[in-house]
Amino acid sequence: MKPNPAPILEDKDNEDLFEHFRFVADPGQGQLRVDKFLGIHMKQTSRNRIQKAAEAGAILVNGKAVKSNHKVKPKDIVTLVLAHPPRDKTLLAEDLNLDVIYQDEDVLLVNKRAGMVVHPAHGHYSGTLINGLMHLFANLPGNDQERPGLVHRIDKDTTGILVIARTEQAMTMLAAQFADHSCEREYIAIVWGDLAKDEGVIEGYLGRSLKDRKLMAVFSDSSQGKHAITHYKVIERFRFATMISCRLETGRTHQIRAHFKSIGHPLFGDPSYGGQNIPDKHGLPRFKDFMRNSLGILPRQALHAKSLGFMHPSKGERMRFVTELPEDMLAIIERFRRYVGV
């Protein structure tokens, strides 16, 4: 067997902690189990780690997920996704002018701005929400040195409310509430298209897309993902787009973004799930030009974590916090209203 070229490290800016590798089987190669094939070309990676990747559906041959005993044939394209190993990196405290909307001895609530990563990860070891919190608060709890106090997160370009634990007890109790879905979470989103119903439920199994492992997709089979439920209600219609309220019954990665993509209504501005593709529309003046300018105002997913409710860890009372929509979403809403004559 001829030596294979070095692996191609793809998606360097991937916010999730994954490395992407791609290999092409030599034309003169005989059939070989995929775990052995990868073991030959990734000598620094243990066989157990490779087999676990196969169990997770992270090894693809010619674009299809395979088991570890799958036989690789000549010229097959083998791709592999592995989580980055933990990195020993000192967490830096940075003054990031965080918008802290509430704090007491147990919890603090932050209104996160767009473009800010929540916690340090591959490619983002500074400028994160956690870096900013370390500047303001000492001794945040947590068993992960890169995520002190963190019990949930929202995407980099999603704005809105997050709760942070300030004690070990608060962290344990808040984590339990997120796990049993007793927290109340409401998001405001703008989606492409005119939704057929004033309210509804989107349900399915959310897992890594088989086409792009950075993204999530909705499956009908529980073996391909985790159960995810999103409830929505229409707030306002703009003919070509709809503003909605979403209530999460579960909290999966990219849940709202992937759910609405799956029903043909991606979030406006979402660069990963088709939200920057301007649909053909008739009957409205200079529609494409108007939309190009609108996407310049809001070049991210139109998604805001508006409110969060939970049982306070020590007070034993229900608390609910609400944030206002960010300026870019407000500007788009007013722009859409004027355009359709609302």
Residue 53 inside a domain? The answer is yes
Residue 250 inside a domain? The answer is yes
Whether residues 295 and 199 fall in one domain: yes
Whether residues 228 and 296 fall in one domain: yes
What are φ and ψ of residue 222, in 5° steps? Answer: -65, -20
Domain boundary among 164, 179, 194: 179
Whether residues 291 and 246 fall in one domain: yes
Whether residues 76 and 220 fall in one domain: no
Whether residues 204 and 71 fall in one domain: no
Per the annotation, the verdict on 11 as an active-site residue is no
Cβ-contact 274, 123 below 8 angstroms: no
> What is the residue range of 332's domain?
184-340
Q: Is the pLDDT of residue 209 over 70?
A: yes
Q: How far apart are the first and last CA of the chain?
A: 68
Residue 62 inside a domain? The answer is yes
The CATH code of the domain that includes 32 is 3.10.290.10
Whether residues 336 and 188 fall in one domain: yes
Domain boundary among 57, 83, 109: 83
**Dihedral sign, CA of 255, 175, 110, 102?**
positive
* pLDDT band, very low/low/confident/very high, at 237 (cuts 50, 70, 90): very high
State how far the Cα of 309 lies from the Cα of 185, in Å rounded to an integer: 7
pTM, full prediction = 0.74
Q: ∠ CA(283), CA(287), CA(293), 5° rounding? A: 160
Instruction: Identify which of 48-57, 92-101, 185-194 has the greatest average pLDDT.
Output: 185-194
Mean of pLDDT values over 70-80: 91
Domain boundary among 179, 199, 214: 179
Whether residues 121 and 171 fall in one domain: yes
Whether residues 36 and 128 fall in one domain: no
The dihedral region occupied by 28, where left means phi > 0, alpha psi between -120 and 50, and beta the remainder, is: alpha
Residue 190 inside a domain? The answer is yes
Residue 327 inside a domain? The answer is yes
Whether residues 129 and 272 fall in one domain: no
Whether residues 62 and 154 fall in one domain: no
Whether residues 120 and 54 fall in one domain: no
Q: What is the pLDDT of residue 122?
A: 65
State how far the Cα of 219 lies from the Cα of 204, in Å rounded to an integer: 6
Whether residues 69 and 121 fall in one domain: no
Nearest CA-CA partner of 215 in 9, 18, 3, 2 = 18
Residue 69 inside a domain? The answer is yes
Q: Is the pLDDT of residue 5 over 60?
A: no
Check 35, 76, 155, 270 and give the catalytic one: 155
Q: ∠ CA(236), CA(241), CA(245), 5° rounding? A: 45
Q: How many domains does the chain have?
A: 3
pLDDT, tens digit, 9 for 90 and up, residues 160-197: 999 999 988 888 888 888 888 889 999 999 999 999 99
State how far the Cα of 238 lies from the Cα of 336, in Å rounded to an integer: 6
